[in-house]
Amino acid sequence: MAGREGASRRAEVRGAEWERELLGLLRPGGQRVRQVVAWLADAVDGTACLHDGSGAVLAGTSLDSGPFEELFDDMVAGRIASAAWEGPGRHLRLVRVPASAGVLTVSRAVPFDRRASEIVTHTVQVLDVLLRAHESTVAVHRLERATSDLRLAILQLLMVEDTVAARRVAAGLWPGLLDTDTACVYVVESRPEERDGLAEECLDATGEQALVVRCPARDEHVIVVTPREAVAGALRSLIGPRPRVFLGGSARQSLARTATAYGQAVSALAVAHFRPDKAAVYAERTHPERLMAPDALRAWTLRVLGPLAGLPHHTHTELLATTRLGLEFTAVSAAKVLGVSRNTVRARMERVEALLGTDFSDLAARAVVHLALNTQESLAHGEDDRAPAPADLGELLTGPAMRAWAHDLLARLDADTRDLRRTLRTWIAAGGNAERAAQTLGVHAQTVREHVRAAEPVLERQLLAGGGDLYEVVLAHLAAGDLDQPALRGVKQGEPDSLVHR
């Protein structure tokens, strides 16, 4: 009697052991499906294999299904839940796993006793839980990816000024988010490997009050578009405790000027790197176009961009939006932001070059066209039906206010004994190419880059990255007479279409 009681207690202990082991595989950070199937084979002293509904092996050692193929098909179809099969030296248990609509097959050389049968039954339950959890995780990831892609699509529509379509797309998931005339754009920068986590925190901090997008062009940037003033404070609270996270914000702009606001935010981000609080908002500093006679600037802009006016509306909008971004950023970055290929960006900008009769490899030409595009954008959102008066670029650049601003800005460089002003002027004339500028100056290319980089905090403008800050400095050189005016002829009416559609 005592011997039977001892054997019973040992069996209970062994039972408790395998139950604890199996439950341990369900704990967070525990083993996955493959490890559970491997554990099962070891626990019953046999082999185990988990098949999905198509018969493919998900885990374990594949078995010859010939003898029980019909049973397998009936189980996958849901006609039976479990089955047993016996042959010479082979004993099988087949159990349907609901989560995968598959079958767990366990093989032993000896018949299944009560303990082995219980282990198989409980293991199926564990596998079902793990597989359902996996399916839920996959579904969540798919939904998150789809939502992320949708946010990017909305941003791309805003970038090309298609606010109607952007509102329509956003209304389904974020009702009211874009029911506004104006918004601000913020760019949050972190290490690339930290961006996904930061993007999730931005989503949590802003709730449904902002469009949060992982920048398609820069792996370290998160773009936030919002009409709500409170979002700025929420974003600032995120960057405080982090050593390598920075925030740049735009001035408030109309939704149609989202691309302009994005450029401002990137410009402010460069300034944020020098701020102790690691945040900066685009400064409403004195911009050169505000120092030019308004009527003359308007007339010059309409004349310069006149060759684009006769294009179909869709083409006109597409070319302007692409050129604005292409002048602010590289073709590759502009392409990623717009969701097109870089060859498409280059082809569109080449078409604009042909229409305007200019060369975008010339920084002065880029700066002048950038001025015209910004002015045209202001005109588009503030209609003025007055007939334009004749004007040319020279008149715009040589006004007293413009010249005084240019001399004051460039004079900041004179205090540096390295003659930063000469290096910067030569670098601009060389199209921003450090090697060509170095040959002209008789120095090393790295010296040119260091001088240009040193000029950035002095001028409070980002230069090496290109874009609006650089173009303001180029216009200052033009106004001061330090650079020659660029060729900008335009295409006259009646000129062959072959030039326009090259």
Span 468-491, average pLDDT: 84
Span 108-133, average pLDDT: 84
pLDDT of amino acid 371: 92
pTM for the model stands at: 0.62
pLDDT of amino acid 21: 67
pLDDT band, very low/low/confident/very high, at 76 (cuts 50, 70, 90): confident
Asked if the model's pLDDT at residue 10 lies above 60, the reply is no
Strands (E), 303-343: none
250-264, 369-383, 425-439, 450-464: least confident range: 369-383
Span 393-408, average pLDDT: 89
Span 297-324, average pLDDT: 89
pLDDT of amino acid 390: 57
Length of the chain counted residue by residue: 502
Percent of the chain with pLDDT over 90: 27
47: enclosing H helix or E strand: strand 47-51
CB within 8 Å of 391: residues ≥ 6 apart: 293, 295, 296, 297, 299, 300, 303
Span 121-142, average pLDDT: 79
Chain center to CA of 404: 41
pLDDT of amino acid 65: 58
Coil, strand or helix at 252: coil
Most confidently predicted of 47-61, 157-171, 339-353: 339-353
Residue 280: left (phi > 0), alpha (psi -120 to 50), or beta? Answer: beta
pLDDT of amino acid 466: 83
pLDDT of amino acid 432: 93
pLDDT of amino acid 64: 65
pLDDT of amino acid 500: 28
pLDDT of amino acid 171: 84
Coil, strand or helix at 281: strand
Token reading at 17 = 């052991």
Span 136-154, average pLDDT: 80
Asked if the model's pLDDT at residue 433 lies above 90, the reply is yes
Residue 37 sits at φ, ψ, to 5 deg, of -65, -40
Asked if the model's pLDDT at residue 7 lies above 50, the reply is no
Q: How far apart are CA 188 and CA 268, in angstroms?
A: 11
Contact at 8 Å (CB) between 76 and 95? no
Q: Which residue has the higher pLDDT, 15 or 439?
A: 439
pLDDT band, very low/low/confident/very high, at 25 (cuts 50, 70, 90): low
Q: How far apart are CA 235 and CA 271, in angstroms?
A: 17
Q: What is the pLDDT of residues 313-345, one digit of tens each?
A: 889 888 988 998 899 888 888 888 888 899 999
Coil, strand or helix at 241: coil
Q: What is the pLDDT of residues 188-219, one digit of tens each?
A: 999 999 999 999 899 888 887 889 999 988 89
Span 470-490, average pLDDT: 87
65-69, 292-296, 413-417: least confident range: 65-69
Asked if the model's pLDDT at residue 445 lies above 80, the reply is yes
Asked if the model's pLDDT at residue 29 lies above 60, the reply is no
pLDDT of amino acid 9: 39
Query: pLDDT averaged over the chain?
Result: 82
Asked if the model's pLDDT at residue 494 lies above 80, the reply is no
Query: Which residue in 424, 485, 417 sits closest to 452, CA to CA?
Result: 424
pLDDT of amino acid 46: 87
Span 374-394, average pLDDT: 64
pLDDT of amino acid 257: 87
